[in-house]
Amino acid sequence: MKAGFIGTGSMGSILIEAFIHSGAFNPEQIIASNRTSRKVELLAENYPGLHVAETNREVVRGSDLIFLCVKPSEFIKVIDEIKEDVLSSQFIISITSPILIKHLEGLLPAKISKIIPSITNYVLSGATLCIHGNRMQPEDKEWLENIFTHISTPIRVSENYTRISSDLSSCGPAFLASFIQAFIDAAVEETGISAEEATLLASEMTLGTGKLLTTGGFNPVSLQKRVSVPGGITAEGLRILEKELCGVFSQVINATHAKYEEDIEKAEQLFTLKQKQ
pLDDT at residue 270, rounded to an integer? 87
Average pLDDT over residues 218-227: 97
What pLDDT was estimated at residue 108?
96
pTM summary value: 0.93
* DSSP secondary structure string for all residues of 115-135: EE--GGGGGT-SEEEEEE-TT
| Residues 97-138: tens digit of each pLDDT | 999 999 999 999 999 999 999 999 999 999 999 999 999 999
β-bridge mates for residue 22, sequence order: none
List phi, psi (to 5°) of 167: -55, -45
The pLDDT of residue 273 is 80
pLDDT at 272 over 90: no
Distance CA 167, CA 13 (A): 21
User: Backbone phi, then psi, for 195, in 5-degree steps?
Assistant: -60, -35
User: Which of residues 240 and 272 earns the better pLDDT score?
Assistant: 240
Phi, psi of 4 (to 5 degrees): -110, 145
Longest alpha-carbon distance in the chain? 68
Q: Let me know: does 256 contact 171? Beta carbons within 8 Å.
A: yes
Q: Please give the pLDDT value at position 71.
A: 93
Instruction: Tell me the pLDDT tens digit for each residue of 19-54.
Output: 999 999 999 999 999 998 999 999 999 999 999 999
**DSSP sequence for 139-204:** HHHHHHHHHHTTTSEEEE--GGGHHHHHIIIIIHHHHHHHHHHHHHHHHHHHH---HHHHHHHHHH
pLDDT tier, 274 (very low <50, low <70, confident <90, very high otherwise): confident
162 alpha-carbon distance from chain centroid: 11
Question: How many secondary structure helices (H) and strands (E) does the chain include?
Answer: 12, 8
For residue 277, pLDDT beyond 90: no
Any residues with CB less than 8 A from the CB of 3 and at least 6 apart, and which? 19, 25, 29, 30, 31, 63, 64, 65, 66, 67
Determine the Cα angle at 91 with ends 144 and 133, to 5°: 80
pLDDT digit string, tens, across residues 162-208: 999 999 999 999 999 999 999 999 999 999 999 999 999 999 999 99
Give 244-258 pLDDT, tens digit per residue.
999 999 999 999 999
Q: Are 157 and 130 in contact (CB under 8 A)?
A: yes
The pLDDT-based confidence of 275 (bands split at 50, 70, 90) is confident
